[in-house]
Structure 1
Amino acid sequence: MTTAAPNSLLGEDFRRAFRGHPAGVAIITAHAATGPVGITSSSVASISADPAVLGFSLQALRGSAAEVATASSVLVHLLTADNVALARRFAAAGSTRFGVDTAWSTPGSGEPLLHGTGTVLRCTPLTRTEVGPALVVTAAVDEIHDADSLAAPLVYQDGTYHCVSAWTALP
């Protein structure tokens, strides 16, 4: 264990520590005044099962992230290994996220629904909390679609997308 250091040095150690920790990949979409918006996220986490609540963080509150941050409802698409290109598109600044290469529709609730992803959760934000330069959002899960998806999940680790295809249960 390293000793406490000034925040900037501790921050570098913190980033290195989490580079090796895999995280599930999701795309969060919302409807904005300018049209559909969405971002790739590796910070989505289950907070509570009863009531169903999840959380995610937004690091830069500009562009699509700013629109997601203020949306009254969002769709959280939990991505599968087949969705690498989609994850990259929604992560790239300035990319055309809802162009001809993206299969999507608008359900009655108004958020953009991406086709061909894993489980999709429709959520209503509950809290928005500033933590340093980030915004942490908690959201109630209102609907779940394709919860039985057994497709291999997409994870992000050490700056690269990975597929979790072989599950080995440990004793």
Structure 2
Amino acid sequence: MTSSPAPSRDGAPVPEQPPADALGVPGTGADGPSQVSPTDFKSVFRRHPAGVAVVTFTHEGTLHGFTATSVISVSADPPVLTFSIDSTSSSWAALAEADTLVINFLAAAQVDVSARFATRGIDRFAEGGWSLLATGEPVLDGNQAWLRGRVVQRTAIGRSFLVSVLALEAHQGGATEPLVYHDRTYHAVGDHTAI
């Protein structure tokens, strides 16, 4: 007898997760099981500032997008980046099948955009402020930069997925101050913050 994936909070199926030891995250080892609680782990990362991006893409004619603070550069040659997404995210079912996407690196003036794309149960594109590329992906207006890329790998880790993307196209906008998230608060980083 096989079981079906359990639905996520928004009703989309969530792929079954392999056991932790199959993910290279063993429960025990030479040092024993992790003594770090989820609360402590999150608390540590709240102290670590992160740039704010919105990942946008089209799947089966529908626009999708979500806020991400986990975007990192992996390699410049080839140009590869990665980000993580929780398998319970309302965007995951579509992202699991998407081929290409855009990473919009938000400017300091786009706090409202970040909040909108982090809100469940709304049409995140309804307010406008975006356009479609010739290749079909939506790109947000006013960002400081964006990269269009092709998904090359999705790796299950815990209840999340690490999505690796090969950058195909890069564009830098006019905005210079990036939006940063630190300790549950948005910040602007510019010349005034240089040490």
State whether TM-score is above 0.5: yes
Retained in 2: the 8 A contact 1:61–1:69?
Answer: no
CA distance in 2, matches of 1:162, 1:139: 27
Please, what TM-score do these two structures have when normalized by structure 1?
Answer: 0.88
1:1-171 superposed matches below 5 A: 7=34, 9-99=36-126, 101-146=127-172, 149=174, 151-165=176-190, 166-169=192-195
Distance in 2 separating the partners of 1:118 and 1:149: 6
Question: In the superposition, relative to structure 1, how do residues 80 and 138 fare at CA in structure 2: closer, same or farther (>3 Å)?
Answer: same
Q: Aligned residues, how many?
A: 164
User: Alpha-carbon deviations, 1:72-110, whole Å to 9, x = none?
Assistant: 0000000110111000000001122111x2211111111
User: Matched residues, percent identical?
Assistant: 38
Provide closer, same or farther for how the CA distance between residues 150 and 161 of structure 1 changes in structure 2, counting only shifts above 3 A. same
User: How far apart are the structure 2 equivalents of 1:150 and 1:13?
Assistant: 35
Give RMSD over aligned pairs.
Answer: 1.9
TM-score by length of 2: 0.77
Shift of 1:7: 4.8
Moved more, 112-121 or 157-166: 157-166
Greater CA radius of gyration, 1 or 2? 2
5+ residue gaps, structure 1, are none
8 Å CA contact 1:38–1:65 kept in 2: the answer is: no
8 Å CA contact 1:28–1:68 kept in 2: the answer is: no
Gaps of at least 5 residues in structure 2 are 1-30
